[in-house]
Structure 1
Amino acid sequence: MERNADQVTAAIAEARSAADAAGFGDRDARGDDPDIDPADRPKVSYGFELEGLTNAPDVADMEIALEAVPGVRARIVYPKATAWITAPDTVDPDVLVEIIAGFGITAVLTDLSLRRRVLRAMPGEGLAQRTDRRDRRERSPRRGPSWKIRRHIEEEARLLERARRAGFLDSELDRLREPETAHPDDVLFTARELLTPTRLVIALLLSIPVLIMAYFPDWQFDGWQWASLALATPVVTWCAWPFHRALVGGLRRGLTALDGASSVAIIAAVVWSLVMLLLTSAGDLDWRSHPEWFAFRHSRITDGELFLDVACGMTVLLLAGRLLTMRTRGSLLDEVDARRPGPHHPVLVVPKGRGPGSAPADERIPLQEVNVGDDVVVTAGEIIPVDGVVVGGACTVERSMIATSEVDREPVKVNSYVYAGTRNLDGRIKVRVVYTGHRTRLAAIHQWVSDANRKQNQSTLLSTRTASLLIPAALGVAALDFALWVLIAGNFNAAFATALAVLASVAPVAIALSPALAIRHGVESAARNGVLFRDGATIRRTETVDTVVFNRVGTLAETDMTVETVTADRGENPELILRVAGALALESDHPVSRALVRAAREARDAGAGGEEIPHWIDVTHAEVDSEGGFTGLIDLPLAEADGSVHLTQVEARLWRPQNMSELHGRLAAAAVSGGTPLVVRWKGRDRGVITLHDTVKDDAQDAITELDDLGVDTVMLSRDTYPVARRFADRIGIDQVLAGIAPAKKPQSVRALHTRGATVAMVGDVSVTDTLRVADVGILMGTDDQVDRVAQSGHADVDVIVLRPDVSAVPQLIWHARRVCRIIDHNIIFAWTYNGLALAASVAGILHPMAATVLMLGSSLLIEARSNSARNFPR
């Protein structure tokens, strides 16, 4: 017993030591004795996000500097720019921040570390001090954590509440926490929630009298300039607050606000006007203004000049432009959210186990409680909340937001498959749930498009970087322009007017929006038409595609294949050959295998071959070799020399010939005379050839013609022999054929095209995922279920997912990518040309500040309109 007690005591001591090292020790139990070695004190773990960590060699030096503090252990993860530091509880984290700042790097505590810092006691306090401090804090509610820490905690609580209300788990919370524009070199947009119609209406009502009095001298009365100041004050303060807030927020965060120049121009115009009113004759009650539109005709400062009209007009135009932009910039994600029922949406479910004598009433339960296999009732006018199969009733459903066919309305009946988000227009149907919640196609598309937009927002685009540099450049040009006009012309009014025009004319919003908005519209419009681009970079790569490689099965041909001919070698039974092929292919879901199994079962059910052919052939040790052939051991009835028949286990193989040298005689002729050939072999000898017929998709030939018109070369990959593959390609006009390519060698074939300088888009189903990976653009086509599952998993090997079964989607998506990129390129050229000409005209004194504001807003709206044209997807 004594030995066990000693072991327990030692284990407890070891556990306490480990807890102290991890930061979970009891400080009160240990005491706050300053003589305790720092290495033996309780530890606290901190996580820091590092901003500005660009050089890996700094990591080692930084760790050494941090660990110079007694008891500190530091580990810096360079790729994630994160520092994990364990320090004694007496070390203030601000000390660690200062050490890191010495290397020119800003360290910010993670949200979890901030919360831990708030909840734990301050360094050096014992239990009594902590209790006394808590009592004082309760008596004085104004005391507490700093506003920064409170803001972090409140934000965490809001995110958690949003996730809880939406029914999401921790993974969704992490996604909500991820910032939309997190790059440190990004620009700061004006907060959309502050751009309200109320601000615009008030600004417009107050600005109209100011503009009338400024531009029509007959309306000027004694003291009109002071009335203009009174009217302009709420306009340039409260109404223009969104732009001022963006400017202040950008200065505080070290970012460039896109509306920063406009905010500076408004403030400068008001300050200048105040100076004129207070220090010059412009403040006299009988003063009158005669504004000129050109700087070189402005009077000297002794005559005075006010720019309240510019400040008010700029505010009104900016508010109107931003509100117009917000109203015309619809989002697919918002529409999906509006169409998709929430987790608490009541759903009418048919209870299980209804018998002839009992008929329990249907019950309504929240959507989040619906399980796979439940039967959901959807009446006329309701939105189908799940993916599933119709097991009762009939109705007409409207075309979904994600179009996968040309029809606007589609009748559904028993055994039809329906998708969540589709509206039932008439009738009553009962749907058996196959997928629900985040597993539905609509949720998968929402997640895919959301990820694409987030990747686009977080990418370091050249446009946002140049836009962030345009504001400081404009401020510098305005200051230099003012100084030169004062030195050369000696005219302060002209100098200020030209400087104000410089600030009013720059349009960084146009530069920042020129690629981002067009790409977003391009991604969403493609998604509406059943084509999912992974991100904007994929659109850019698709634009440069000059060669499209089709995997024949699953893309150019229908998924259903049929057995065309069965050619047996001399002395062999064709029915036995078909049964063996069906048995070997039984476990595969490939279209070829399904055709063989279906034909073998039909022949068995029809009694073909008589009693000599076994009705069922068992296959053991079934395998698929590297070339896609099926092998296994089967029991076959073999006749002996004396005429007796008995079952013998033999090795059989079902394989596809890749060239003509592998077959001879009548089997070789049969392999090239029809459709896709398969050879059946057992006991080391080829027994027969089965050819399969696959129907070319109706639009395949038109799609290939459209690709030719786009200047894109077309190539077809096939495992068939060259004569068979060439004959299929000639039916639809494909340029090149790569025949006899085993599945394992298809990626090498695509790489070979790269060596010839081609930019390749590979089109195929899930059976050639490895080949999609090696192409410049991997385009997935296939059955609905296969495509849906890949879309939900966000497969990294796929760049584009085509939800439609038609081949015409391939030329359409290439044409769409080229058009979107053309819009982006033209927008960038226009934006830079405008900014250059506008700055030159402003400096020269040709452009009035108000006219500069109109041109700036007009350029942004023109960029917006051109970007909105990316919504048009070719049909």
Structure 2
Amino acid sequence: MTPRHDRDGHVATSRRAEDHEAHEAHESHAGHADHVAQFRKLFWVNLIIAVPVVAFSTMFAMLVGYQVPDVPGGRWIAPLLGTVMYAVGGRPFLTGAVSEIRSRKPGMMLLIGLAITVAFLASWGASLGLLDHELEFWWELALLIVIMLLGHWVEMRSLAQTTSALDSLAALLPDEAEKVEADHTVTVSPADLRVGDVVVIRPGGSVPADGRIVEGRADIDESMVTGESRSIARGVGDAVTAGTVATDSGLRVEVTATGDDTTLAGIQRLVTEAQNSTSRAQRLADRAAGWLFWFALSTAAITATIWTTFGSPAAAVVRAITVLVIACPHALGLAIPLVVSIATERAARGGVLIKDRLALESMRTVDAVLFDKTGTLTKGEPTVTAIESVGEVGDDAVLALAAAAETDSEHPLAHAIVRAARDRGLSVPRAGGFSSSPAVGVTASVDGREIRVGGPRLLEQIGADEVGTAAGWREEGAIILHVVRDGAVIGGLRLADEIRPESREAVDALHRLGIEVVMITGDAEAVARAVGDDLGIDRVFAGVRPEDKAAKVSGLQREGKKVAMVGDGVNDAPALAQSDVGIAIGAGTDVAIASAGVILASSDPRSVLSVIELSRATYRKMKQNLWWGAGYNLISVPLAAGVLAPVGFVLPMSVGAILMSLSTVVVALNAQLLRRIDLRPEASSRAALDRSSGVDRRADNRSGVRQ
């Protein structure tokens, strides 16, 4: 699992906990992998067998113009090996055809199964001399099975890329918990904890179960569960959630909920329900194959009737069987899988990982993009955004002294201050006598003078007033720290979650495409409103708990909107699964990635434009390929049936076979054109702006409805 930074700044490797549901999800994933291996093996085996089948097919030799090799028993090589291919290579399609018959939903599998069965029976009849020699289709049967196995191998490989969200959720819990027994502690598994047990949480440690603090006070990092960008001060009597982290001090927590009753387990259930509710979309190619099945079957029946009535029974059999074999969708079988395979490969090279083909198809219809704030539109870490000095002390001096005092601290705010001083190129003096007090601040000696950095409680202790701009900073939801030298305030620091520079361009580009931009966050209203106003976002949902995030997505969907959710935390997982398209920032948590259909390798929100561009281009290629694949059948089937027989033209089997191969080549070449798309975030954003009408909606959006 991706390493996770705790609030002390250390990299804490997430620990894996055994979970029954995660195990079931893993088995499902393993099933996809088994199917990939199955189709890969079948393809290569049947490709090898197909070579002698085609070479010894008398009909193929007549079409190409060569003599079948004269070897002992040569006339039986194609029939015998063709039978092996039908039984082994054709088995997945035959079993699929039986399933479609039982479900009364004819589609691709039934059409393929019908074609290979007709070709198999007709070829044996021709080989035994019972039917006309023109009905020897061994070469066609071999190529048909090989091409269909290739298409299904490509498709199953894309499906097998899925990972388990539930396994990632369980991995947030620590491997062990320290349970208090009498006057000592014992190490137990979190699964063995019971309501009423008291556990010790070390500084930087994860909470193993939902509980209530009975001793101690600490800043709790709840961002993995609530999305709140700032650590929250928790003391005796406050509730804590499994999976959260005590950043700066140790705690004793009484367990109030375990197992399925915890908040984390509730999120797991939400993810499972949302994923199951969005996994039943009908594929376009299957619908086309279903229509083509009835078209081919009815055409074959009409053909047999007409040729029997106005021709001869022998001609009727030849024409009807030719219709059924020609109707088999060589190109249609590759139309979707090949496009998806190239699109996903091209996307991966552009930093976009497509896990769910349906998500890729749906992205073109999205008319609302819901961004999580923390870690998506913003960097997800505090940054010094303003300094106000008091008296003769300059801004740089205030920041340098604050950085000196905070150098030995492991708190994220301390890291932000030290980083700001380094970025400004300031000379930070050495400090000694460092000490920290939870919820108050830090104290250190710099050049013989006492320097303290802290929040409101520090000012209460020394009886000092805050700097003049603090009230305005507070209204914007910023974190405010004061720097005190020898008991006197010398300045204030404004810290906030910094907005990504790319976010504004992404929002503007989405607006130009006519897409509504919504922001959702667990942060307070003031923080969310400041970011929303700065970026010109249409709607802002603030103070949203994890269970409510999925509900907000559902609310937008009830308004008739197709919603894409972009997030990076555990708190986003249910909403990612509930949305029409879930997009996870790759720098986020494994559970967010596992719950999404699309993953952005970078943290650049402009990559959402890349997904839209790819979705639209992929859909165009799918439609074009479906028309090429099905269009061949719509034209060749009536010709093979003899619709132009009254004027002396009947489509020969050889010409039909050439057209069939040509349509497959066209479909393959057309799919290759997807490789020309530039999916770099800046290129996609620029393209969206270039295609727009030039009307800047940003001013209008600033006055839009806020929620």
Give deviations 1:396-420, integer Å, cap 9, x for gaps: xxxxxxxxxxxxxxxxxxxxxxxxx
Question: Distance in 1 between the 2:544 and 2:500 partners?
Answer: 23
User: Any conservation in 1 of the 2:405–2:443 contact (CA below 8 Å)?
Assistant: no
* 2:44 match: 193
* 1:652 match: 457
Question: Distance in 2 between the 1:555 and 1:511 partners?
Answer: 39
Q: CA deviation at 1:502?
A: 0.5
Q: Percent identity?
A: 21
The question of 1:271 aligning with 2:125 is answered: yes
Question: Distance in 2 between the 1:225 and 1:526 partners?
Answer: 46
Residues 23-38 of structure 1 mapped to structure 2, 5 A cutoff: none
User: Any conservation in 2 of the 1:619–1:633 contact (CA below 8 Å)?
Assistant: yes
- Structure 1 segments unaligned to the other structure (5+ residues): 1-169, 278-304, 336-454, 621-631, 638-644, 655-662
Distance 1:474 1:197, change over 3 A: same
Distance 1:229 1:208, change over 3 A: farther
Give deviations 1:572-609, integer Å, cap 9, x for gaps: 999699969998996664xx66414656999999469x
Q: Which residue of the other structure, out of 619, 625, 644, is the alignment partner of 2:437?
A: 619
Residues 134-283 of structure 1 mapped to structure 2, 5 A cutoff: 174=27, 178=31, 191-197=42-48, 199-200=50-51, 203-204=54-55, 207=58, 210-211=61-62, 233-239=76-82, 241-243=84-86, 245-246=88-89, 254-255=98-99, 256=109, 258=112, 260-272=114-126, 274-275=128-129
Q: CA deviation at 1:770?
A: 6.0
User: Any conservation in 1 of the 2:59–2:133 contact (CA below 8 Å)?
Assistant: no
* 2:232 match: none
What SS does the aligned partner of 2:583 have?
strand
Residues 533-544 of structure 1 mapped to structure 2, 5 A cutoff: 533-544=354-365
Residues 634-713 of structure 1 mapped to structure 2, 5 A cutoff: 652=457, 666-669=469-472, 677-680=478-481, 690-692=493-495, 700=503, 703-704=506-507, 706-713=509-516
* 2:317 match: 496
Q: CA deviation at 1:737?
A: 6.5
Residues 346-385 of structure 1 mapped to structure 2, 5 A cutoff: none
Q: Return the letter of the residue paired with 1:652.
A: R
* 1:777 match: 581
Q: Return the letter of the residue paired with 2:457.
A: A
User: Any conservation in 2 of the 1:236–1:315 contact (CA below 8 Å)?
Assistant: no
Question: Distance in 2 between the 1:600 and 1:652 partners?
Answer: 24
Distance 1:194 1:479, change over 3 A: farther
Distance 1:806 1:211, change over 3 A: same
* 1:121 match: none
Q: Return the letter of the residue paired with 1:543.
A: R
Distance 1:175 1:273, change over 3 A: closer
What SS does the aligned partner of 2:651 have?
coil
User: Any conservation in 1 of the 2:374–2:380 contact (CA below 8 Å)?
Assistant: yes
> With CA pairs under 8 Å and 6+ residues apart, which has the higher RCO, 1 or 2?
2
Q: Which residue of the other structure, out of 806, 827, 836, is the alignment partner of 2:634?
A: 836
Residues 335-734 of structure 1 mapped to structure 2, 5 A cutoff: 461=283, 463-464=285-286, 467=289, 474=296, 477-486=299-308, 488-551=309-372, 553-556=374-377, 562-567=383-388, 589=412, 594-596=415-417, 598=419, 606=428, 616-620=434-438, 632=439, 652=457, 666-669=469-472, 677-680=478-481, 690-692=493-495, 700=503, 703-704=506-507, 706-715=509-518, 725=531, 728-729=534-535, 734=536
Question: Distance in 1 between the 2:407 and 2:443 partners?
Answer: 13
Q: TM-score, normalising length from structure 2?
A: 0.53
Give deviations 1:147-184, integer Å, cap 9, x for gaps: xxxxxxxxxxxxxxxxxxxxxxx9999568626698xx
Q: Return the letter of the residue paired with 2:656.
A: A
* 2:652 match: 848
The question of 1:821 aligning with 2:615 is answered: no
Q: Return the letter of the residue paired with 1:482.
A: A
* 2:140 match: 314
Question: Distance in 2 between the 1:743 and 1:690 partners?
Answer: 28
User: Any conservation in 2 of the 1:534–1:799 contact (CA below 8 Å)?
Assistant: yes
Distance 1:709 1:872, change over 3 A: farther
Residues 749-760 of structure 1 mapped to structure 2, 5 A cutoff: 753-754=556-557, 756-760=559-563
- Structure 2 segments unaligned to the other structure (5+ residues): 1-22, 100-108, 162-276, 445-449, 460-465, 484-488, 680-707
Distance 1:178 1:776, change over 3 A: closer
Question: Distance in 2 between the 1:744 and 1:520 partners?
Answer: 37
Residues 52-201 of structure 1 mapped to structure 2, 5 A cutoff: 174=27, 178=31, 191-197=42-48, 199-200=50-51
What SS does the aligned partner of 1:804 have?
coil
Question: Distance in 2 between the 1:782 and 1:325 partners?
Answer: 29
The question of 1:763 aligning with 2:566 is answered: yes
Distance 1:188 1:485, change over 3 A: farther
Give deviations 1:371-399, integer Å, cap 9, x for gaps: xxxxxxxxxxxxxxxxxxxxxxxxxxxxx
Distance 1:524 1:571, change over 3 A: same
What SS does the aligned partner of 1:484 have?
helix
Give deviations 1:694-717, integer Å, cap 9, x for gaps: 876565565455434543344556
Distance 1:697 1:260, change over 3 A: same
Give deviations 1:243-284, integer Å, cap 9, x for gaps: 35455676578355625414423531552575479xxxxxxx
Q: CA deviation at 1:233?
A: 3.9
Q: Return the letter of the residue paired with 1:192.
A: F
Give deviations 1:46-83, integer Å, cap 9, x for gaps: xxxxxxxxxxxxxxxxxxxxxxxxxxxxxxxxxxxxxx
What SS does the aligned partner of 1:507 have?
coil
Q: CA deviation at 1:688?
A: 7.8
Distance 1:499 1:743, change over 3 A: closer
The CA RMSD measured in Å over matched residues stands at 6.0
Question: Distance in 1 between the 2:556 and 2:403 partners?
Answer: 38
Question: Distance in 1 between the 2:660 and 2:351 partners?
Answer: 37
Q: CA deviation at 1:804?
A: 1.8
Q: CA deviation at 1:463?
A: 3.6
Q: Which residue of the other structure, out of 802, 810, 829, is the alignment partner of 2:608?
A: 810
User: Any conservation in 2 of the 1:497–1:849 contact (CA below 8 Å)?
Assistant: no
Q: Return the letter of the residue paired with 2:300.
A: A
Q: CA deviation at 1:501?
A: 1.9
User: Any conservation in 2 of the 1:325–1:861 contact (CA below 8 Å)?
Assistant: no
Give deviations 1:482-525, integer Å, cap 9, x for gaps: 24311x21323431331132122112454444334433443343
User: Any conservation in 1 of the 2:554–2:579 contact (CA below 8 Å)?
Assistant: yes
What SS does the aligned partner of 1:779 have?
strand
Distance 1:226 1:518, change over 3 A: closer
* 1:801 match: 599
Question: Distance in 2 between the 1:633 and 1:472 partners?
Answer: 76
Q: CA deviation at 1:811?
A: 0.7
User: Any conservation in 2 of the 1:560–1:694 contact (CA below 8 Å)?
Assistant: yes
Question: Distance in 2 between the 1:508 and 1:464 partners?
Answer: 11
Question: Distance in 1 between the 2:514 and 2:54 partners?
Answer: 54
Distance 1:176 1:699, change over 3 A: closer
Question: Distance in 1 between the 2:404 and 2:556 partners?
Answer: 35
Q: CA deviation at 1:833?
A: 3.9
